[in-house]
Chains A and B, each alone.
Chain A
Amino acid sequence: RKEVEQDPGPFNVPEGATVAFNCTYSNSASQSFFWYRQDCRKEPKLLMSVYSSGNEDGRFTAQLNRASQYISLLIRDSKLSDSATYLCVVNIGTGNQFYFGTGTSLTVIP
């Protein structure tokens, strides 16, 4: 079983729509969680960290469910510029290794 699993999509949504991505992780010892965004042929860029209490940054909301071992990312009022691949990242507490999901592709359509 993979350490981190994401639905690869693609998700094609109209401008203004709300879209949600989920990511599951297998190791209950995982300590830190992030969402990264990656544009085509570019490096991943940190979108937001994910905290146990959940956190919000503008149109983006991230949540963590430790009991079910998943994290989520909600994007409200989608913009064309949100089109990218969204990567779920988990750090396993017993080591220094970051595990990436395969990414979820989002295309926002005019």
Chain B
Amino acid sequence: DAGVTQSPTHLIKTRGQQVTLRCSPKSGHDTVSWYQQALGQGPQFIFQYYEEEERQRGNFPDRFSGHQYPNYSSELNVNALLLGDSALYLCASSFGSVYNEQFFGPGTRLTVL
């Protein structure tokens, strides 16, 4: 049973560029959440997708957008990259109730130069 997978593992971009990160949830899970984790900080909630719609959004600008496909996989897009967007981006999947525990993928480490 595959867990949550993310791609790519690492990414280096320059300011102003755009990036797309991908996530496949754990088998049987229908909900995907995205988090940004800066060094030395806890993960910060970006948004959550359920039934192909954004169900909840954290305090992130519109430069951060996402998508969920019918097979529950998801993408995180970030436009007009800033140096401060450098972080570990984590995808987490869960099933059903919003109160259920989330399982995390290994993350994508984004560096913006």
Contact A43 B107 (CB under 8 A): yes
Cβ-based interface call for A17 (8 A): no
Give the Cβ gap from A67 to chain B, nearest Cβ, in Å. 20
- Name the interface residues of A72-103: CB closer than 8 Å to any CB of B: 87, 91, 95-103
Give the Cβ gap from B86 to chain A, nearest Cβ, in Å. 14
Q: With a CB–CB cut-off of 8 A, which chain A residues contact B105? A: 43
| Size bracket, chain B contacts | 20 to 34
A98 to B104 Cα, complex, angstroms: 13
Cβ-based interface call for B56 (8 A): yes
A83 to B107 Cα, complex, angstroms: 21
Q: Mask for A1-25, Cβ within 8 A of B = 1, else 0?
A: 0001000000000000000000000
Contact B48 A100 (CB under 8 A): no
Cβ-based interface call for B61 (8 A): no
Cβ-based interface call for B78 (8 A): no
Give the Cβ gap from B12 to chain A, nearest Cβ, in Å. 16
Q: Mask for A59-71, Cβ within 8 A of B = 1, else 0?
A: 0000000000000
Cβ-based interface call for B102 (8 A): yes
Contact B104 A45 (CB under 8 A): yes
Contact A97 B99 (CB under 8 A): no
Q: Mask for A22-45, Cβ within 8 A of B = 1, else 0?
A: 000000000110100000001111
Contact B101 A49 (CB under 8 A): yes
A81 to B81 Cα, complex, angstroms: 38
Give the 10 A-B CB pairs with smallest separation, nearest first. Answer: A100-B42, A43-B104, A32-B99, A96-B56, A96-B98, A102-B42, A100-B43, A97-B45, A46-B101, A44-B104
Using a CB–CB cutoff of 8 Å, the interface residues on chain B facing chain A are 33, 35, 40-45, 48, 50, 55-56, 58, 90, 92, 98-107
